[in-house]
Amino acid sequence: MHDLVIFTNEAMTKHNQGLGHPECSARLERILDMVKNDMPNIPIEKAYPADENTLLLAHPQDHLDSILDNTPFDGYHAIDGDTYLSPTSYDAALISVGAGVQAVKAVVNGETKTAFALSRPPGHHAEYDTAMGFCLFANAFIAARSSSVRTLIIDFDVHHGNGTEDLVKRHTANGHDDIAYASTHQGLGFWPNTGHVDAKNICNAPLSVGTTSDDFRKTVTNKIIPFAKLFNPELIIFSAGFDAHESDPLGELNLTHNDFGWIVDQIKSICPRIVSILEGGYNLDTLPTSVKHHLQALKNTKQ
Ligand SMILES: [Zn+2]
């Protein structure tokens, strides 16, 4: 069995949201370069598009149709002020979902202990029937739904995963108790300005502007870990956003590279089966180093 496998596909670099958009192809390219240069022993497997039935685990057909219908033949279509479609966006988004689903399958089937979906566009802002915040489909939630094991999604992106919360709440309201969501994120007044209260199967830990590594670790230890222990998951899915790093141009938190490995070490002792799916992280110079710390912790199975 492998310790860590990466699922990716360079076809996802063809999704383009316009010149100067922070959610750009170079994010994936820089991370992939780092892996090939610094961590050449990690197996990389090709991610394939999810089929439409898999997307229906989270979204209604109307949502899929609206993304496809609005996909332009050339140029861009603006879904909102942040989120754009280019001609290959739908195809890239299907692969992005597929990478997470394949990663879950590989871990649940025992082919690898942990897996990382190096994918874009990200997914945690995509709600039941709304694309927003650079996200078209709910990658992490769909990955959770794709298996029948009890799954906790832990989101450390600087932005609250309003989409994942929306879908977990709907899933819970429909009588299911097998998926939960826990998030640390920059709190009040910061986009998307959700994630201030807890609910059944939802644990929100908002952080104030300037939160340091120490404060982040205290919050995870005091709030996220007890919630995770109580939920008792068989699988963890990280919504791995690296925009809470101190150098990120969008966030205002002060996490360090080490924090992205530290949180893996903490969670591993509760549940060693881990899938991590890339969300945000927009400083192209520091993003690969943050991901490297995260991958080193995922790969280290000596616990
Ligand atoms: Zn983010």
Residue 303, pLDDT > 50, answer no
Averaged pLDDT, 294-302: 87
Whole-number pLDDT of residue 302: 52
pTM: 0.97
- Could you tell me the two tokens for 288? 């690969």
158 alpha carbon to ligand 1 midpoint, in Å? 5
Averaged pLDDT, 20-45: 96
Residue 172, pLDDT > 60, answer yes
Element (H, E) at 168: helix 162-173
84 alpha carbon to ligand 1 midpoint, in Å? 16
The contacts of residue 51 (CB under 8 Å, 6+ apart) are none
List C-alpha distances in Å: 256 to 35, 93, 216, 288, 297.
19, 29, 10, 13, 14
CB 151 within 8 Å of CB 144: yes
Residues near ligand 1 ion, CB 5 Å cutoff: 157, 159, 241, 243, 280
Q: What is the pLDDT of residues 118-168, one digit of tens each?
A: 999 999 999 999 999 999 999 999 999 999 999 999 999 999 999 999 999
Whole-number pLDDT of residue 16: 87
Pick the closest to residue 23 from 136, 140, 130, 134 (CA basis): 134
Domains of the chain: 2-299 (3.40.800.20)
187 alpha carbon to ligand 1 midpoint, in Å? 12
Averaged pLDDT, 28-51: 97
Averaged pLDDT, 195-220: 98
User: Which of the four pLDDT bands, split at 50, 70 and 90, describes residue 188?
Assistant: confident
Whole-number pLDDT of residue 18: 83
Phi, psi of 86 (to 5 degrees): -115, 175
